[in-house]
Amino acid sequence: MDYTHLSEFAVRPGALTLWRAELAPGAAWTADARPLTSVHVRHCRETDAADPRPGRGRWIGTIFEMDAPFHPAHWRETARRWHARHEGLRTTVTRHDVPEPERLVCAAADVAVTAEPIPGVTGSGAINEYLSATLESRLSPLRWPHCLLATVEHADTGDFTVLVAADHSVLDAYSQAIVILELRALYAEVTRGEPPRESPTFGSAADFAQWERDTAAALTPDCEAVRYWQRFLDGSGGMLPRFEPAITAEGKATVIAGGATGSVACGGTGAVVGGGELAALPQTSVSRKLLSLGELEQVERAVSERGHRLSVAVFTALAIAYRRAFGYISLRAIMPIATRPDLRWLESMGWFVNVVPLDLTLAPDLDLDSALESTRTVLRRSRTANDATWTRVLELLNCTDHPRFGISFLDIRALPDHELVESLRGHTLRAESYAPDEVFFWIVRATDGLRLSTRFPATFPEVEMDRFLAEFTRAMREFAGEQGGGDRTADTRGSFALPSAAPDRVAESAPQAPRALTPARV
């Protein structure tokens, strides 16, 4: 599962319809005393209410092909049940220009779903272009609905494509991945005339927000997690780390003249707030397979024999590549992790993400065994910050910076029925970013090998990133005792042209599997 732009997914031609939630006649919003999560509050504050394109660079989503005939009435009921099930989708906010935006919620029975047929937009390119523009203009944390659905009916095959797109406040990377099977199951239930499945794992995102804010309020400068963050920030002058090769020789970010950036925490999206000549330049983006399944299995066997997991090998190879390609002794970044601390939120839709520090410094000789052990130690230590809300930690440490360099890793096999998701052409999506100084990597252990998606500033030479990815791939092969041999079906060098959008990244997007489901082990 690659994490791509909508433009990289070849939507088959068909009849396009948008589906949006709305309040049923006579229904009303109800004030809710439960707070928003810390990152949700920050997200709202960073959104310009007057921006005609609030979703530009910010929305995330999922697209897949439903393996069933399209029945509009059945799909409308599917969308209604989905909104009714998840309280986060039935939530919005009051004024955002106050210290603490208030939560508004509508009852499950008060949600209706309206169809908006889009006549004349039937070709693949036209559909992508229309949807991209629509999502940029209509998705916002300040205006409900915060999620839009779209269907494309394919008359020639009798099936249909489904797009789920949302503001980050109601969706995260893990949600992006699991929503495919949830909507498929709901549609099948509606088609068969069955009631929706009930489960205690569809917990309220608002209840999670209360837990998160209570946990954040208990943090103090003396907490172990806060001290861990302090040492991390001390290593970069009180700022969050950057992907150093993308920074100018003076050591400053290549920022837009007269502009600034706003970053959506942990979701791997960013939006330019200010103006300037570069504001219209989207970041360079790539999704490619670096190792074939055969090569990857060799690596997995080799690192397992050394007593390590694939995640340790991946982060070690990144640090080795950072040194070989650019000469930096340490690889310092932030790492998004899933924060679903209880099984009741296992299947919830919402924003359940935290950020932890990652500081990898390997010995000069780059001995593989010692490098792997060093990385495992660092990853284990990072757990200290797992439950410490990163936005609150930065407040306590008087740091107003935002993430500019992040790395996520996901083993897709941790997700339920991942092979079925692949067969449905499931892709997680992110909006094009216009940030001038952000670099994010999403690495996925997929069913067909090791895949990587990245985005980086338009000003950073593509050949330099290509060199880094080639060094990363070489380091991974070295774990299996190879020096560049093996199966060459993976795309690891050459131009940075994007691959075709045939079946090809939580989602974020490679998401981190929730610890409640698959406890993190390194």
Degrees, nearest 5: CA angle 470-252-317: 25
pLDDT in tens, 251-298: 343 333 223 333 333 333 333 333 344 457 899 999 999 999 999 999
Mean pLDDT of 415-423: 87
pLDDT in tens, 191-249: 999 999 999 999 999 999 999 999 999 999 999 999 999 999 999 899 999 999 998 53
State pTM to two decimals: 0.86
pLDDT in tens, 381-414: 999 999 999 999 999 999 999 999 999 999 988 8
| CA contacts within 13 A on the Cβ side of 51 | 25
Mean pLDDT of 493-521: 30
Considering the domain boundaries, does residue 170 fall inside one? Answer: yes
What is the pLDDT, as a whole number, of residue 68?
Answer: 97
Q: How far is CA 47 from CA 51, 53, 55, 58, 372, in A?
A: 8, 10, 9, 10, 41
- In whole angstroms, give the CA distance from residue 107 to residue 83: 10
What is the pLDDT, as a whole number, of residue 422?
Answer: 87
Considering the domain boundaries, does residue 31 fall inside one? Answer: yes
What is the pLDDT, as a whole number, of residue 417?
Answer: 87
Kindly give the residue spans of alpha helices, DSSP state H, lying in 218-291: 224-234
pLDDT at 497 exceeding the cut of 50: no
Considering the domain boundaries, does residue 458 fall inside one? Answer: no
Q: How far is CA 171 from the centre of its chain?
A: 9
pLDDT in tens, 21-71: 999 999 999 999 999 999 999 999 999 999 999 999 999 999 999 999 999
Residue numbers of the domain that contains 68: 3-208
Considering the domain boundaries, does residue 389 fall inside one? Answer: no
pLDDT in tens, 138-191: 999 999 999 999 999 999 999 999 999 999 999 999 999 999 999 999 999 999
What is the pLDDT, as a whole number, of residue 3?
Answer: 87
Considering the domain boundaries, does residue 158 fall inside one? Answer: yes
Considering the domain boundaries, does residue 22 fall inside one? Answer: yes
Total domains in the chain come to 1
Q: How far is CA 85 from CA 111, 177, 348, 476, in A?
A: 10, 17, 9, 43
Mean pLDDT of 336-344: 93
Considering the domain boundaries, does residue 117 fall inside one? Answer: yes
What is the pLDDT, as a whole number, of residue 267?
Answer: 37
Q: What's 156's domain CATH number?
A: 3.30.559.10
pLDDT tier for residue 464 given thresholds of 50, 70 and 90: very high
Considering the domain boundaries, does residue 367 fall inside one? Answer: no
What is the pLDDT, as a whole number, of residue 98?
Answer: 76
- In whole angstroms, give the CA distance from residue 168 to residue 59: 6
